[in-house]
Amino acid sequence: MPFKLPKPFLLLLGIILVLNLFQAHFTELIFDEAYYWHYAQNMAWGYFDHPPMVALLVKISSFFFKGELGIRFMGCLLSVATIIVLWLLVDGDEKRKYIPHFFVLVFSMTLLNAYGFFTLPDTPLLFFTALFLLIYKKFIQNPSYLWGAVLGVVMAALMYSKYHAVLVILFVLLSNLRLVANKFAWLAVIVALFCYIPHFVWLYENDFVSIKYHLYERPNGAYDFEKYTLGFLINLVAIFGLTFPWIYKALFKTKSSDLFVKALLYLTYGVLLFFFLSSFNRRVQTQWIIVVSIPMAVLVFQQMLTDAPIRKWIYRTGIATILILLFLRIGLIYKPFFPIYYETHGNRQWVSELKSEIGDIPVIFENSYRNAPMYAFYSGNPTFSLNNYMYRRNQYSIDDSEQKIQGKKVLYVSKYMNEGDLSFTKVDGAHYNAKYISNFESFRKLEVIAEQRVHNLNDGKEHFFKVYNPYDIEIDLKKLKFSIAYLNDYKQVKDLKSLPTNRVPENISVLKPNDTINFAFMFPKPKIENPGYFRIGISENNLPYGLNGKNIKLE
């Protein structure tokens, strides 16, 4: 049955859309957006850090516009679509009396506001979470093959947006365990899994690189209450701005009146509890908990309809928050209005200045998947992030960016060189030196395969590792040097040693395409006491040692 939105609702929605489009056009990119723009230059069913939905949004946007709006256009549309779905999730005609209150509530939620014009993986996550809840509401009211199939498609879209979406699905399921015996719910699961097959295939073909990174490879640190748990609690305030006391009061006053409200409560409390417990292990980023804004917007507005004091205070503090946010949004465009440096400031400037000096040659940034795509976007030049043992793997580790610059004259940019052919300083104060390399050649995709567990560094035994060549060319072994990095229990590199090796057999001088060579080595003594892991890396043509091997547990 078609729905009709009230004219005041459409008017306010149109104002927000125009404002967000204006903001999206005139605000320079943030580094993550440039990175996802890099995704979209090579469309695939998956990427190193995330599923492909954000890349799809960027690609579609580029069909309509150039520049920043060519990245953000679809995000702007999805943000207003999210507001429409939130409105539809609220029951009763009484809500029509409080349309301004609804918009104040939603627009004052800080990250919902920001993702109105930024395009990040959370942008589709928010929309499809809202849509998933709407379809779920229809499903529990009228279970059928149709709603089961639609629910499955939306579940897949959720998972194509961000891996955190599994929490949305899980906590809604936990709110209604009878779904386990519901044939239409199983249809939804089957449809979702079928739709997700292309991403499963991509993960398999890429050695489950995304899953391994998120679950096992991320460096961490010792527990720090201020950084971890207190930081999480501050995030609970930050995502709602000045309205937070009454937002949480409204949440605490909400009782589980039916299956749908129960699902909203389970989703909200489940996500908050999950990341609260996670805060005892690692720092929780603000955007990780943003998904609770969707169920809380519905629960809180439903409470506002019947609770005059809460309605009054959320409206007042919400307007104050919106005024602050609007001022800050101006500051994103016009730097003097923003209280501190932010990454939307000055990127076009430093890129333009560097390009005017070097022309159209490719640029290699050492350890920066942030600077590389930013420079490529604003300059149009090919770039590459050369990741070494002190950094982390990223999309540049698995795509064809390296291949595009092989054998060419490049500019190598690093924060770690003391001098070079030229230097520049970005608006944030970061200083870089750079040098020209006339015939660049790197082999960052060489793979080191070592024993999975080592019990004793001082056992006096020879250990072995293999080097696999995935390239379609022979590699002269004289171009390669090996190192061993020792890491602590939190997977932080604490020591690096060159690694003398014995080639096996001795008469081999090249590593053939798609072939493997075995090496023997003895563990050099580390400076760090009781290292938790080791990792073997390769330096090609005297470049910094790379991330060629996995972290191997020392026992």
Rounded to two decimals, what is the model's pTM? 0.94
Nearest to residue 389, comparing CAs of 499, 520, 555, 550?
550
The answer on pLDDT for 341 being more than 80 is: yes
Helix (H) and strand (E) counts for the chain? 20, 16
Q: What is the pLDDT of residue 455?
A: 72
C-alpha–C-alpha distance, residues 127 and 132, integer Å = 9
Q: 141 vs 339, which has greater pLDDT?
A: 141
C-alpha–C-alpha distance, residues 247 and 303, integer Å = 10
Tens-place pLDDT, residues 117-163:
999 999 999 999 999 999 999 999 999 999 999 999 999 999 999 99
The structure tokens listed for 9 are 């609702």
C-alpha–C-alpha distance, residues 135 and 188, integer Å = 11
The answer on pLDDT for 332 being more than 60 is: yes
Tell me the average pLDDT across 432-458. Answer: 90
C-alpha–C-alpha distance, residues 78 and 82, integer Å = 6
Q: What is the pLDDT of residue 355?
A: 97
Q: What residue spans in the chain does CATH classification 2.60.40.10 cover?
A: 447-554
In our burial notation (b when 16+ CB lie closer than 10 A, e otherwise), range 248-272 reads ebbbeebeeeebbbbbbbbbbebbb
For 71, 129, 156, the CA distances from 167, given in Å and listed in that order, are: 27, 11, 13
Tens-place pLDDT, residues 206-249:
999 999 998 888 878 889 999 999 999 999 999 999 999 999 99
- Cis check for the bond before 505: say yes or no (omega within 30 of 0): yes
CATH superfamily for 447-554 is Immunoglobulins (2.60.40.10)
C-alpha–C-alpha distance, residues 187 and 165, integer Å = 19
